Each structure stands twice: as C-alpha cells, then as structure tokens.
Amino acid sequence: MSKLSRSSHALVTGGGRGIGRAVAAALTEAGAVVTILGRNRATLDEAVAAGAAQFAEVADVADQASVKSAIAAAARRQPIDILVANAGAAESAPFGRSDAALFQRMMDVNFMGVVHAMQAVLPAMVERRQGRVVAIASTAGLKGYAYVSAYSAAKHAVIGLVRSLALETAKCGVTVNAVCPGFTETDLLEGSIDNIMKKTGRSREQAIAELSKHNPQGQLVTPQEVADAVLWLCGDGAAAITGQAIAVAGGEV
C-alpha cells in the first residue's frame, strides 16, 4: 500500500459517498488527515463516523464563495497538501433536447466545481512548493458517449484544465493530474441504470450489461480501483507524474 508523507492533510470534494468516500478512506488508511467536503451534512458525518475521514465541511462546489469558505476553514486546522476534486453530477439527454440550462448545470458542477476547489488551494501549495492535485474526470473526458454531450464536454474541459495547470506548476513542487474512471459502481451510476430500465424496459441485469460492455474486461470499475490510482498519484513515488489523464477503465481507452 502507498504511504503518504507523515500527517499530510487531504481534502476530498464529494467525499461522503461513492468514489469520493473510497478515496477519502484510502488516504486515511495511508496516514493522511482527511477532510471531506459535500452538500449533505448527514452523509458527511456518517462517513466521518465510519472512519473514512476525520473532518467534514459543507459546501456546494458550484458555489465559489461556499467552497472558498469551507476550504479556508479546513486549512486553518492544517495546510492542505492534497486536493482530490471529485464532486460531480451526470445528466443524460439527446443533444437536441440538451438545453442551455442542462449544459450550464453540467459545467457548474463538473468543471467550475473543480476550478473553485483548485483556486482555493493552489496559491498556498505553490507558496509552500509542495502539493498534489487530482481531479476525478471520466473516460467521457477522453472520448465521446452518446446522449451525454454536456457531461462529456465538461469532463473534457477538466482534462484541459489539468494539462494547463500542470505546466504552470511544474517547477513549484505541485503536481496536477486527472483520473478518468469508466463506468463505476456508485450511486451516480445507479441513476443511469434506472434511466436505462425506464426508457428501454430492460431488466437491471441487462442495463448493467449495457454499461459494462464498454469495458473490455466486461465489468464495472469499483470505487476502490479508482481510489488506488489516486493514492499512487498522491504519494512520493509519483513526483514526476503531472499533466496526465489516467484511465481506470479496463482498457476501454
């Protein structure tokens, strides 16, 4: 198992469930002090009580002011060494029925949510000349999928942001990377499964098979597999890895 620098402080957005919670738990197990950030206090508190993190802050990543305030509160406890910008949302619709409001929602959460978190932590990281920033993007940021043009566009934007910031911070002791999961066993995916079942009349097993067919291994990715990739990027051994978009998708990309 990867080990982190002693008592590193990691902040994970969307850390109360799914991939974010798995990442928080992996970082905690590796020795980090972990603060999770999300919108639902009860969900966050349950994750802390279960040992996935030590602290929690409530904020909506789409709201820059609340993110800035929450991260400032976390940083007052201890400077933030690791940011995992995980919070996200997915909506599906044919492009012809994807209005401006849908595109705005997807950009606000999936892209600007990452921007807000990065802007809140990067100045201090650069000043201290140390830090790890990992954005949880998606294979949708590396390729296209039908009926999720807004979501895919937002995730492509995240990867462009990562590549640009990696160049800006390359000499500052800070690395910036993206991890791009394929279809992963999360609450978010449950919504996609339900959507397929309602629209096509398929069974749950058939809906899962429709999603997992994209993965050459023929299975869904687990949150722990994503967390393991994040943990490696946050460790000392990945100091030379920056500006990368690493797919965790069974060979799909």
Nearest Cα residue to 243 out of 184, 149, 178, 185: 178
The number of angstroms, rounded, from the C-alpha of 14 to the middle of its chain's C-alpha atoms is 7
**Helix ranges (DSSP H) in 11-60:** 18-29, 41-49
- Cα separation, 26 vs 184, in Å, equals 17
| Annotation says 147 is catalytic | no
- Cα separation, 229 vs 245, in Å, equals 11
- Cα separation, 114 vs 132, in Å, equals 14
- Cα separation, 58 vs 70, in Å, equals 7
Catalytic residue among 151, 156, 166, 182: 151
HSE value, Cβ hemisphere, 13 Å, CA-based, for 222: 4
> CB–CB of 211/144 below 8 Å?
no
Q: Read off the tokens for 208.
A: 């899962």
- Cα separation, 134 vs 86, in Å, equals 8
The number of angstroms, rounded, from the C-alpha of 66 to the middle of its chain's C-alpha atoms is 18
What is the set of active-site residues? Answer: 151
